[in-house]
Amino acid sequence: MSTDVHFVVPSGIDDPARPSGGNVYDRRLAAELARLGRLVLLHRVGAADRGALARLLAGLPRGATVLVDGLIGSVAGDELAAESERLRLAVLLHMPLGQAEPDTAAGEARALGAARVTIAASRWTRQWVLAHYGLERSRVAVALPGTDPGPLAVGGPSGRELLCVAAVTPGKGHATLVAALAAIADLDWRCTCVGALDLDPEHVRRLRVALEEAGLGDRVDLLGPLVGDRLERVRTQADLVVSASRHEAFGMALAEGVARGLPVVATDVGGTPEALGCGSATASPGLLVPPDDPAALAAGLRRWLTDSNLRGRLRSAAARRRDTLATWQDTAQQVAAALDAASR
């Protein structure tokens, strides 16, 4: 059985202006699969360029193992179905498109049905596609995102430094976050937002207006995308990771924060509880609130900022949780096992 893997990834996978969780996952997975002895052949394709995908697949040798990023594969049901007998197809599904965009569900179900295996990036994603797409349970595997080790955050006594790591788009809930921050303007805090600012310029403009109208222009920084050491420096200065996301398959930015001992206040959506370790033997390192509810998010942040005992408990829980997070080697081993099973 060949261990070669043709990995079809978005064309912008290496773009520092697009440090998305999916791109990070793909890059780290490719590197770790290579360390496991797999020959990984990367093929970069535009997410909407179905013609390029069709030409690529048609040119691969019969029996090749092909792993297609879900950003590309979920919208290419016809192209995958046309090659499903000739190639050993797998789809790496970071987030089910049909969950956030119901109009895409039928096409995504066809795409995943054409694959020998769907590799979901969270247990929540696996359960969602099984419930909605009628796939066989044996054909949907899970490979949780890994985390990189980092120094344990010390945190200031007041917990005032808030950090949000997410592209500034409507789906990530920044409007809810701004409204929540306005409701706790009487408290001492600062919020740093890290993430792409050019995906929806009009949304960013409206956020900036809302910040100025709320008198928060000097307390909330929209820094744009940061990677590597620059992002690490921002994390070392943070006390709390906050997320107001409306849809989240896992929450890699939350897990990366917890990996440094940072507690979390986040919306209870998708796989976010999974990222925090809710339901495990240890206490959760964060507070979960309903999505699209500025008052609930404000209440969670107010609890964090005003209750020193709560801050201590959540920091201790985060320090314990960081030792139980998956590594990228774990991720690669899970993906490799799923690909091997699909190749038999």
Q: CA-to-CA distance for 320 and 311, rounded, in angstroms? A: 14
- Closest to 195 (Cα-Cα) out of 173, 217, 219, 218: 173
- What DSSP element (H or E) covers 109? helix 105-114
Q: Under CATH, what is the fold of the domain 5-146+326-343?
A: Rossmann fold (3.40.50)
Render each residue's pLDDT in the chain as its tens digit; 344 residues: 567 999 999 998 888 777 788 999 999 999 999 999 999 999 999 988 999 999 999 999 999 999 999 999 999 999 999 999 999 999 999 999 999 899 999 999 999 999 999 999 999 999 999 999 999 999 999 999 999 888 888 889 999 999 999 999 999 999 999 999 999 999 999 999 999 999 999 999 999 999 999 999 999 999 999 988 999 999 999 999 999 999 999 999 999 999 999 999 999 999 999 999 876 656 899 999 999 999 999 999 999 999 999 999 999 999 999 989 999 999 999 999 999 988 77
Taking each helix axis from N to C terminus, what angle separates 308-321 and 294-306, rounded to the nearest 10 degrees?
Answer: 100
Exposed, middle or buried, 102 (CB in 10 Å: 0-12/13-18/19+)?
A: exposed
- Whether 204 contacts 197, CB under 8 Å: yes
Q: Output the pLDDT for position 282.
A: 67
Map out the domains of the chain as residue ranges: 5-146+326-343, 161-321
Same fold for the pair 5-146+326-343 and 161-321: yes
Q: CA-to-CA distance for 216 and 218, rounded, in angstroms? A: 5
- Whether 261 contacts 150, CB under 8 Å: no
Exposed, middle or buried, 193 (CB in 10 Å: 0-12/13-18/19+)?
A: buried
Amino acid at 109: A
Domain 161-321 coded CATH 3.40.50.720: no
Q: CA-to-CA distance for 202 and 199, rounded, in angstroms? A: 9
What's the token pair of residue 69?
Answer: 């990023």
Q: CA-to-CA distance for 294 and 178, rounded, in angstroms? A: 8
Amino acid at 283: A
Q: CA-to-CA distance for 276 and 251, rounded, in angstroms? A: 9
